[in-house]
């Protein structure tokens, strides 16, 4: 191999891969989405069901595990690719539906369109995902292959021109890779949006015999899972990006810092590294060139603060993950004291695409200052939960109401939380803000990790702010006093407010503390921790005031400010559902046959309210928690 040019060596690998995968293409294939989200919904059972049913019928079909397509609301999912039909995706699978599909579609010729979600290729019989309302807005770059290729087989990636960007780059000079990335203005997808090209260049300037490349996959936001999804579904894309970066900066060694809580991602990436090494795409003399680079996984032990660059490096060196003051930046003095490039999973994933298609292609997508796409995990009170990728500049309104299809069950929109614990809550009036690094910052939120939680009228903003603060307070490493003690004090104040305690000084004190924590902390954990509080105070101050002044939680959420009550005029004496639903036996039947809740025993679990049949809806929440007068309660 050594006397061949990289492109020739690559062509050989690719044609072998095409051959290997084409041999399979003649066969019927069932692709089951088994990323963590799918597995949680029962995808492994679905896969077993397919294998068993296919075996029982003696059919020649292959069942393959693929990653996540992003349509999490319909898990477990599978795509059936049968020669003669377009590949069709089915959602909400269970063993009954699997049985039916195998019998009617695999054995017979009826694709069961009534259960199909979408076709994957344009055809005359069934719509594709692109024809969904969300298809208009979605533009998948780094998620394109997720869920459609076999993440555990490098041939699957190679056959679709994977690693061609690397081969192409190795034919030229490292500076060309750097120039292209700089030209594309690729901004770091970890949240802050620092241009990747400038970071790389700073590293090269620091020089030295050893530069490290590290991929930050320490996704700590409790509501975001796109990095995991990409690593599980398309690991080679990230590896290729890292190798290209290493080539550009002249690094010989790299690491992927992956959370140990992501065991599937760790397994898939380790397999990908081994396979790439076996094919000569990683290791010494990559593709026969003079360039050598190798990768290793470091398993992070779960600390939110380790997403911060210096803390991550400290933790890799076997210390507690505490941030250091910068400068020196990692580009000057990073891992083992050497210049280090640290980028997010998504940032690396864009690199092969930019090298392959050129900087101008990339800049044509998105906005001038934030080119490219943004990936969000869309969760909360929204119909189409899952992973979405839209061009920068798409508005929040389009993202929530068109891509996400709005709120379920006719709920009314209240707020959207962007960027996880470091982000902010934006109200209806801010929905026309375009999504890009700078506009979101102006609105008080940040792009951050890309977690996007939609909230309805029945969500309490004080409780939400308290939730995020509880998280950051717990995750504060304890180095800076303002962050360590300030977040604790803020949490105490917020807890008091959710209990209706406080006076007219409380909110001013909370604001003052927020500003102090923001200004007095070293790293972004502390600097951004007050964001959820500041934005909710800015946009939903009336809710805070209702808690403090009236002892009332307008959203009927805060436990100490509500009570459950059975309306005597609505309660049917003949029904016993609520009594059976109560886990603490707090509900009893009165002498007149009506049901009543013993407030001493009630734990406010919401079970009776859900259990009460829709024709009665007799159970209500009251806030402030004061029972109606005795007289009213009698009838």
Question: Is 583 near other proteins (CB under 8 A)?
Answer: yes
Q: How far is the CB of 421 from other proteins (least distance, A)?
A: 9
* Binding mask of the shown chain, residues 67 to 106, with x at each position contacting other proteins by CB under 8 A: -----xx-x-------------------------------
- State which of positions 155-174 bind other proteins (CB under 8 A): none
Question: Which one, of 510, 608, 619, 525, lies nearest residue 568 by Cα?
Answer: 619
Find out whether 34 and 47 touch, Cβ atoms under 8 Å: yes
The span of 36-44, 53-61, 117-125, 561-569 binding other proteins (CB under 8 A) equals: 36-44
Q: How far is the CB of 7 from other proteins (least distance, A)?
A: 38
The span of 97-105, 337-345, 374-382, 569-577 binding other proteins (CB under 8 A) equals: 374-382
Question: Is 534 near other proteins (CB under 8 A)?
Answer: no
For other proteins, the binding residue among 380, 419, 554, 625 (CB under 8 A) is 380
Question: Is 519 near other proteins (CB under 8 A)?
Answer: no
Residue whose CB is less far from other proteins, 85 or 467: 467
Q: Are strands 253-259 and 294-300 parallel, antiparallel or unpaired?
A: parallel
Q: How far is the CB of 483 from other proteins (least distance, A)?
A: 15
Residue 228 dihedral angles phi and psi, to the nearest 5°: -60, -45
Residue whose CB is less far from other proteins, 201 or 221: 221
Question: Is 216 near other proteins (CB under 8 A)?
Answer: no
- State which of positions 298-317 bind other proteins (CB under 8 A): 298-299, 301-303, 315-317
Question: Which one, of 33, 28, 30, lies nearest residue 66 by Cα?
Answer: 33
* Binding mask of the shown chain, residues 101 to 140, with x at each position contacting other proteins by CB under 8 A: ----------------------------------------
Question: Which one, of 332, 356, 331, 357, lies nearest residue 343 by Cα?
Answer: 331
Q: How far is the CB of 119 from other proteins (least distance, A)?
A: 23
Question: Is 425 near other proteins (CB under 8 A)?
Answer: no
Q: CA quadruple 293, 299, 303, 304: dihedral positive or negative?
A: positive
Question: Is 376 near other proteins (CB under 8 A)?
Answer: no
Please report the DSSP string for 286-304 in residue order: GGGSS--BEEEEEEE---G
Question: In the Cβ-directed half-sphere of 192, how many Cα atoms lie within 13 Å?
Answer: 15
* Number of residues located near other proteins, criterion CB under 8 A: 57
Find out whether 406 and 397 touch, Cβ atoms under 8 Å: no
* Binding mask of the shown chain, residues 41 to 60, with x at each position contacting other proteins by CB under 8 A: xx------------------
Find out whether 375 and 143 touch, Cβ atoms under 8 Å: yes
Question: Which one, of 275, 286, 278, 280, lies nearest residue 252 by Cα?
Answer: 286
Residue whose CB is less far from other proteins, 420 or 625: 420
Residue whose CB is less far from other proteins, 73 or 413: 73
**CA atoms of 277 and 495, how far apart (whole Å):** 53
Question: In the Cβ-directed half-sphere of 230, how many Cα atoms lie within 13 Å?
Answer: 30
The span of 105-113, 148-156, 482-490, 581-589 binding other proteins (CB under 8 A) equals: 581-589
Question: Which one, of 451, 450, 516, lies nearest residue 489 by Cα?
Answer: 516
* Binding mask of the shown chain, residues 222 to 251, with x at each position contacting other proteins by CB under 8 A: xxxx--x-----------------------
**CA atoms of 96 and 108, how far apart (whole Å):** 16
Residue whose CB is less far from other proteins, 61 or 586: 586
Contacts within 8 Å (CB) and 24+ apart, 468-474 = 468/417, 468/420, 468/421, 468/532, 469/494, 469/529, 469/532, 469/533, 471/222, 471/304, 471/421, 472/304, 472/421, 472/422, 472/525, 472/526, 472/529, 473/529
**CA atoms of 533 and 491, how far apart (whole Å):** 10
Residue whose CB is less far from other proteins, 195 or 427: 427
Question: Is 436 near other proteins (CB under 8 A)?
Answer: no
Query: 341 - beta bridge partners?
Result: 213
Residue whose CB is less far from other proteins, 344 or 498: 498
For other proteins, the binding residue among 1, 25, 40, 278 (CB under 8 A) is 40
In the structure encoding, which two tokens stand for residue 228, read together? 């995991």
Q: How far is the CB of 380 from other proteins (least distance, A)?
A: 6
**CA atoms of 484 and 503, how far apart (whole Å):** 25
Q: How far is the CB of 232 from other proteins (least distance, A)?
A: 10
* DSSP H/E element including 78: strand 78-81
The span of 94-102, 107-115, 546-554, 600-608 binding other proteins (CB under 8 A) equals: 600-608
* DSSP H/E element including 45: helix 43-57
Work out the angle at residue 388's Cα, subtended by the Cα atoms of residues 382 and 390, and round it to the nearest 5 degrees: 115
The span of 123-131, 134-142, 181-189, 375-383 binding other proteins (CB under 8 A) equals: 375-383
Q: How far is the CB of 209 from other proteins (least distance, A)?
A: 19
- State which of positions 474-513 bind other proteins (CB under 8 A): 477
Q: How many helices (H) and strands (E) does the chain have?
A: 26, 18
- What radius of gyration, in Å, describes the C-alpha atoms of the chain? 27
Question: Which one, of 478, 501, 494, 477, lies nearest residue 530 by Cα?
Answer: 494
**CA atoms of 263 and 228, how far apart (whole Å):** 10
For other proteins, the binding residue among 455, 462, 546, 566 (CB under 8 A) is 455
For other proteins, the binding residue among 370, 377, 476, 506 (CB under 8 A) is 377
Find out whether 572 and 616 touch, Cβ atoms under 8 Å: yes
Residue whose CB is less far from other proteins, 205 or 601: 601
What SS3 state is found at 1?
coil
Residue whose CB is less far from other proteins, 248 or 586: 586
Q: How far is the CB of 428 from other proteins (least distance, A)?
A: 18
Question: Is 420 near other proteins (CB under 8 A)?
Answer: yes
Question: Is 385 near other proteins (CB under 8 A)?
Answer: yes
Q: How far is the CB of 457 from other proteins (least distance, A)?
A: 13
* Binding mask of the shown chain, residues 272 to 301, with x at each position contacting other proteins by CB under 8 A: --------------------------xx-x
Q: Which residues bind other proteins (CB under 8 A)?
A: 35-37, 39-42, 72-73, 75, 220-225, 228, 260-261, 298-299, 301-303, 315-321, 377, 379-381, 385-386, 417, 420, 451, 453, 455, 459, 464, 467, 471, 477, 581, 583-585, 603-607, 610
């Amino acid at each position: 191999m050594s006397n061949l040019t990289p492109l020739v060596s690559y062509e050989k690998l690719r044609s072998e891969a095409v051959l290997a995968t084409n041999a399979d293409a003649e066969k019927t294939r069932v692709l089951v989405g088994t990323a963590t989200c799918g597995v949680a919904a029962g995808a492994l059972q679905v896969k077993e069901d397919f294998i068993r049913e296919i075996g029982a019928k003696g059919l020649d079909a292959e069942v393959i595990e693929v990653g996540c397509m992003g349509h999490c609301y319909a898990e477990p999912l599978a795509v059936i690719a049968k020669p003669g039909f377009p590949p069709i995706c089915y959602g909400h699978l269970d063993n009954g539906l699997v049985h039916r599909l195998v019998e009617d579609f695999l054995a017979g010729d009826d694709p069961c369109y009534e259960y199909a979600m979408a076709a994957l290729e344009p055809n005359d019989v069934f719509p594709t995902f692109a024809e969904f309302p969300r298809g208009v807005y979605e533009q998948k770059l780094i998620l394109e292959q997720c869920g459609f290729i076999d993440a555990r087989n490098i041939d699957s990636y190679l056959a679709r021109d994977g690693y061609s960007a690397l081969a192409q780059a190795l034919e030229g000079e490292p500076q060309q890779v750097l120039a292209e990335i700089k030209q594309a203005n690729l901004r770091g997808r970890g949240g802050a949006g620092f241009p990747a090209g400038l970071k790389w260049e700073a590293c090269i300037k620091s020089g030295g015999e050893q530069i490290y490349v590290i991929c930050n996959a320490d996704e700590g936001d409790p509501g975001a899972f796109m990095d995991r999804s990409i690593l599980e579904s398309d690991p080679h894309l990230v590896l290729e990006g890292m190798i290209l970066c290493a080539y550009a900066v002249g690094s010989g060694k790299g690491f992927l810092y992956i959370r140990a809580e992501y065991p599937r991602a760790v397994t898939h990436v380790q397999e990908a590294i081994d396979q790439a090494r076996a094919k000569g795409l990683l290791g010494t003399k990559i593709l026969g060139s003079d360039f050598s680079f190798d990768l290793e996984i470091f398993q992070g032990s779960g600390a939110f603060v380790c997403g911060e660059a210096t803390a991550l490096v400290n933790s890799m060196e076997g210390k507690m993950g505490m941030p250091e003051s910068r400068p020196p930046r990692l580009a000057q003095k990073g891992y083992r004291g050497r210049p280090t490039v640290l980028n997010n999973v998504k940032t690396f994933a864009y690199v092969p695409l930019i090298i392959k298609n050129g900087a101008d292609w990339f800049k044509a997508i998105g906005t001038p200052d934030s080119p490219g796409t943004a990936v969000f995990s869309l969760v909360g009170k929204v119909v189409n939960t899952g992973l979405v990728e839209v061009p920068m500049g798409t508005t929040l309104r389009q993202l929530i109401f068109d891509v996400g299809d709005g709120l379920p069950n006719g709920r009314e929109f209240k707020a959207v939380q962007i960027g996880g614990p470091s982000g902010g809550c934006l109200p209806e009036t801010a929905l026309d803000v375009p999504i890009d690094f700078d506009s979101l910052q102006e609105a008080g939120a940040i792009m951050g990790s890309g977690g996007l939680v939609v909230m309805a009228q029945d969500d309490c903003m004080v409780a939400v702010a308290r939730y995020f603060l509880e998280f950051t307070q717990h995750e504060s490493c304890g180095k800076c006093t303002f962050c360590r003690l300030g977040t604790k004090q803020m949490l105490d104040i917020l807890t008091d407010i959710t209990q209706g305690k406080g006076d007219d000084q409380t909110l001013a004190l909370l604001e003052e503390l927020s500003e102090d924590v923001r200004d007095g902390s070293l790293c972004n954990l502390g600097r951004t921790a007050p964001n959820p509080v500041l934005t909710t105070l800015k946009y939903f101050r009336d809710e805070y005031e209702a808690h403090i002044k009236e002892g009332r939680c307008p959203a009927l959420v805060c436990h100490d400010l509500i009570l459950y009550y059975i309306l005597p005029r609505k309660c049917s004496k003949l029904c016993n559902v609520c009594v059976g639903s109560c886990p603490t036996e707090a509900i009893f039947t009165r002498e007149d046959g009506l049901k009543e809740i013993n407030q001493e025993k009630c734990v406010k679990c919401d079970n009776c309210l859900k259990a009460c049949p829709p024709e009665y809806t007799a159970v209500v929440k009251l806030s402030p928690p004061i029972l109606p007068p005795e007289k009213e309660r009698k009838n």
